[in-house]
Amino acid sequence: MIISIASGKGGTGKTFVATNLALSLKSDVQLLDCDVEEPNAHLFIRPVIEEVITATTPVPEVDEGKCTLCRKCSEICQFKAIVVIGQIVLVFPELCHSCGGCVEVCPEGAISETGRELGVIERGHRNGLEFVHGKLRVGEAMSPPLIRKVRSFTNPDKLTIIDAPPGTSCPVIASTKGADFVLLVTEPTPFGLHDLKLMVEAIKILEIPHGLVINRSGIGDNQVKAYAEKENIPLLMEIPFDRGIAESYSRGELLVEVMPEWKERFLGLYHLIEEVLK
Ligand code: SF4
Ligand code: SF4
- pLDDT exceeds 90 at position 141: no
Residue nearest to atom 8 of ligand 2 (CA): 67
Phi and psi at residue 173, in whole multiples of 5°? -65, -40
- Give alpha helix (H) positions in the chain: 14-24, 41-45, 72-76, 101-105, 144-151, 170-176, 190-206, 223-230, 243-250, 255-258, 261-277
How confident is residue 244, by pLDDT bands cut at 50, 70 and 90?
A: confident
What pLDDT does residue 9 have? 74
Helix (H, G, I), strand (E, B) or coil at 71: coil
β-strands 82-85, 48-62: how paired? Answer: unpaired
Ligand 2 centre and the CA of 146: distance in Å?
28
What pLDDT does residue 54 have? 97
**Ligand 2 within 6 A of 90 CB?**
no
**Ligand 1 within 6 A of 102 CB?**
yes
Nearest Cα to 140, choosing from 74, 89, 81, 96? 96
Distance separating alpha carbons of residues 9 and 6, to the nearest angstrom: 9
**Ligand 1 within 6 A of 81 CB?**
yes
Helix (H, G, I), strand (E, B) or coil at 217: strand
Ligand 2 centre and the CA of 70: distance in Å?
5
Read off the pLDDT of each residue in 236-242 and give the average, rounded to a whole number: 92
- pLDDT exceeds 90 at position 177: yes
Question: Of 154 and 245, which is predicted with more confidence?
Answer: 154
b/e per residue, 36-50, with b = 16+ CB within 10 A? bbebebbebbebeee
Nearest Cα to 227, choosing from 218, 235, 215, 236? 235
Residue nearest to atom 4 of ligand 1 (CA): 96
Ligand 2 centre and the CA of 85: distance in Å?
12
Instruction: Report the half-sphere exposure of 82 (CA within 13 A, side-chain side).
Output: 28
Instruction: Kindly report the average pLDDT of the chain as a whole number.
Output: 94
**Per-residue pLDDT tens over the stretch 28-47:** 999 999 999 999 999 999 99
How confident is residue 242, by pLDDT bands cut at 50, 70 and 90?
A: confident
Residue nearest to atom 2 of ligand 2 (CA): 106
Nearest Cα to 259, choosing from 249, 270, 272? 249
Dmax (CA) of the chain: 70
CA–CA distance from 41 to each of 16, 47, 101 (Å)?
8, 10, 36
What pLDDT does residue 30 have? 97
- pLDDT exceeds 80 at position 248: yes
**Ligand 2 within 6 A of 108 CB?**
yes
Phi and psi at residue 70, in whole multiples of 5°? -75, -15
How many Cβ atoms from other residues are within 10 Å of residue 97's Cβ?
Answer: 15
Distance separating alpha carbons of residues 171 and 35, to the nearest angstrom: 8
Is the four-CA dihedral 146, 152, 155, 161 of positive or negative sign?
Answer: positive
